[in-house]
Amino acid sequence: MNALAAMRSAWRALLANPLRSLLTMLGIIIGVASVITMIAIGQGATERVQEHMKVLGANVMLVLPGTVNTGGVRQGAQTSQALTEADALAIALEVPEVQVAAPSSRATVQAVFGGTNWSTPVFGATNDYLEARDWPLASGRLFETGELQGAAKVVLIGQTVARELFGDEDPVDQVIRLRNVPMTVIGVLERKGQNSWGSDQDDVAIVPISTFRNRVQGDAAGRLKRVGSISVKVRDGYDMKAAEDNIRELLRQRMRVQVDGDEPFRIRNLTEMLQAQEASSQVMTLLLSAVAGVSLIVGGIGIMNIMLVSVTERTREIGLRMAVGARGRDILAQFLIEAITLSLMGGAVGVLLGAIATWAVGQFAGWQVSMTLQSIVLAAGFSALVGVFFGFYPARRASALLPIQALRHE
């Protein structure tokens, strides 16, 4: 008996009891569909975190003002005004792990162009801020050195501001007013989308930090060159934790913080937070896939059970085949092919149902899902292995029957 004859014999045996074969495949179908759907959901969650990391910028930390303690009463977050532009410069020069340290301050103002106006956050920053955020320009140019030092009336705007103020018109070289100060638009930022908190990052205008200090802020904090935050980008390949410790030690020295004193600043390692979210989503994917994989094991047990029943029902047939010259390996191949065929057919239907379920989750639940070829191959391959593993024992038992005993079986 060659392989083709064994496959034809296996097909005839399966088609002889179609309902039983379908019910036997049900566990494999559910298992494969579940594995594919769970992996797609987990992969979608991982990709969403990676998109947030790309939007935020790689290897980024944020140094923020701390709290003020007045008479034993602690005020809210970021009530301290301890950070200055000089602190950012010191971090950039004295911490070897740091690529750039970009000071920035923020205020919300009304942007006006012609008869159109739009309320938007305005940041006072430098070109290093865009480098830290991995934020290129869609058109125009960056700030020049003279503009940064001389409080020039120039501005970079985000995609949302460009759309709301200019519509389809090119914003570059146009003049807008921020707090009644005319500013020339020199560039438009690439689209960033929403951040992990749901805020529109493209709703922004960025002016030189000296311009913000002298023309937008204009208070004591501006005269003292206070800043609202410092965005720190760590060099690729360097340890984020070591950079964080060095920044903390430097700022404590500069601010003369006592050994046990409260730090008037906070450091948020945003990359570590997103990496922790990514690791959590991957762990959840593995757990959900493992739970779904239990269905494959249950389906495999069902295949073994039905194959044992099939061997018992066809004992006389096995004896007759052996009597006319079939060898044990021929019988083994016949029943093993039957088990593998059941698994592969169940796997194929499971892949189809998994694709439909993945689409339904993305369409109706609104979750981000990602169905990959690797997940399909993994689920289908595992279903084939289940057929081999759970089908081998019944096939081995059939091949070990003695012809005389098999022919005498009732």
**Reduced to 3 states, what is the DSSP secondary structure of residue 214?**
helix
Tens digit of each residue's pLDDT (9 = 90 or more) over 236-246:
888 888 888 99
Residue with tokens 């390692």: 269
Q: Tokens representing 287?
A: 């757990």
Residue 205: its pLDDT value, please? Answer: 95
Per-residue pLDDT of 351-408, as tens digits, reads: 899 889 888 888 887 777 878 787 788 777 877 888 788 888 888 888 887 777 767 6
**60-65 and 175-178 beta bridge pairing:** unpaired
CA atoms within a 13 Å half-sphere pointing along the CA-CB vector of 308: 8
pLDDT for 72: 45
Number of residues written out for the chain: 410
Contact 252, 243 (CB under 8 A): no
3-state secondary structure of 242: helix
Strand-pair partners of 155: 185
pLDDT digits (tens, 9 = 90+) for 158-217: 999 999 999 989 999 999 999 889 999 999 999 988 765 667 889 999 999 999 988 887
Main-chain dihedrals φ then ψ at residue 264, nearest 5 degrees? -85, 30
Angstrom distance (rounded) from CA 393 to CA 401: 13
Q: Amino acid identity, residue 367? A: W
Dihedral of the alpha carbons of 77, 81, 83, 86, in degrees to the nearest 10: 170
| Cβ count near 148 (within 10 Å) | 18
Q: Which amino acid is at 43?
A: Q
**Which residues are CB-neighbours of 389 under 8 A, at least 6 positions away?**
300
Q: What is the pTM of this model?
A: 0.60
Mean pLDDT of the chain: 81
- Integer Cα distance of 187 and 140 in angstroms: 4
pLDDT at 34: 82
pLDDT tens sequence across 235-274 = 888 888 888 899 999 999 998 888 777 788 888 876 666 6
Residue 131 main-chain phi, psi, to 5 deg: -70, -40
Q: Judge contact between 46 and 213, C-beta under 8 A.
A: no
